Chains A and B, each alone.
Chain A
């Protein structure tokens, strides 16, 4: 069924051996130059001619290397806990300019998962205060967005110290913003700060 005679017709005048050899060498040479001068430095950080560094291309390969691989799973860790984990959800309504803060008391190494969603962007800072503070104003910042803000965030958190850990949100829009927070984790209590004295919020055992 496969016939040699079916080969295509109507071509250029048959090129000479010399021309074909030249074309092949030129093709390979151009490929080699592009590969060694630009592509390999940019893609793999392999830069034998130092052109990648000169053109700033090796940065690309570093950026690629640093990109977290979504399929990579960190080493498995299991941290048994003595008590059942808690769940909590809160709804807030923030008037323009108003702010609220909600923090959970956690032991060092305890884990919590969280999701919050708002009807518009809120400025926020996810931060914590250790029980043992070097000075009264001390705190650790985990995530800060006071420029653009976000209307949602989700994640898992491992407490770096025993203390209270949570969010400060502020409504910088000119409208009322509704916000919903849901968490689950090994915390023992929650506190809300909305201007006056901190208020204890009930948290429930997981069912």
Chain B
């Protein structure tokens, strides 16, 4: 690569950094406003609902997943370097097992946790995965903590986040199990939809030679997003009335 060409690449890299950061900032705008919050009208529905309502709860679960940027950022981090479909399915299944367990146990068992703290931990899960992706643990700890356990454990926190948000509404005991399971099924449907979109973009991107070059920067941007979510939630814990 001659000097001229190298310079051109560097300029391109810088532009990419700016675009990536802007994308994160834009993505986080709605995330900050709505991550984890079931929107006002949906909340009204949840509160007014009596008895079984499989369709609506499935829809709410799917909507929550597709519009919940914290879950999506984490999943992007998880599948970023997964090339084989088998691996994607495996890791996503672990995430699903994790969040389903705590969603069901949290709501049905009436386990209450502070949603700001849970959401801050979810933000940290994004930081963790992005740091892992840029080989942070390997370099600084000398080994990489087991990635599957990490996904499973963080999955537990993500499910707890779902549970605390649903608990903020007085859920009717009538048909509760059906509704929570429906919500959970909806979450998985939403997850598949969102992952499909992410995988299409990633697969295409991987065919370009820029992928590996930009992977480092992209994961740094991902980490930024995680830090923002964490800071936003921690600030909420200390500042919100």
Pair B131/A24 contact, Cβ less than 8 Å: yes
Interface membership of A151, Cβ < 8 A: no
Pair B224/A31 contact, Cβ less than 8 Å: yes
Tally of contact residues, A, Cβ under 8 A: 34
Q: Given A28-B227, A30-B21, A35-B232, verify A14-B216 contact (CB < 8 Å).
A: no
Instruction: Give the complex CA separation of A12 and B134 in angstroms.
Output: 9
Q: Given A6-B148, A8-B87, A27-B223, verify A32-B139 contact (CB < 8 Å).
A: no
Interface membership of A206, Cβ < 8 A: no
Interface majority SS (helix, strand, loop, mixed), chain B:
helix
Pair B220/A23 contact, Cβ less than 8 Å: yes
Q: Given A8-B81, A35-B235, A44-B239, verify A20-B136 contact (CB < 8 Å).
A: yes
Pair B212/A12 contact, Cβ less than 8 Å: yes
- With a CB–CB cut-off of 8 A, which chain B residues contact A28? 223-224, 227
Interface membership of B193, Cβ < 8 A: no
Give the one of A6, A19, A20 with max B CB within 10 A. Answer: A20
Tally of contact residues, B, Cβ under 8 A: 50
- With a CB–CB cut-off of 8 A, which chain A residues contact B21? 30
Interface membership of B215, Cβ < 8 A: yes
Interface membership of A4, Cβ < 8 A: yes
Pair B146/A10 contact, Cβ less than 8 Å: no
Interface majority SS (helix, strand, loop, mixed), chain A:
helix
When A and B form their complex, which 4 residue pairs have the shortest distance between CB atoms, in order from nearest? A31-B227, A8-B81, A27-B223, A2-B148
> Interface residues, chain B, CB within 8 Å of chain A?
21, 25, 28, 32-33, 40, 43-44, 47, 81-83, 87, 90, 127, 130-131, 134-136, 138-140, 144, 146-149, 152, 212-213, 215-216, 219-221, 223-228, 230-232, 235-236, 239-241
Apart from A27-B221, A35-B235: 13 A-B pairs, beta carbons within 8 A: A2-B148, A2-B152, A8-B83, A23-B134, A23-B216, A23-B223, A24-B220, A28-B223, A28-B227, A35-B231, A39-B232, A43-B33, A43-B232
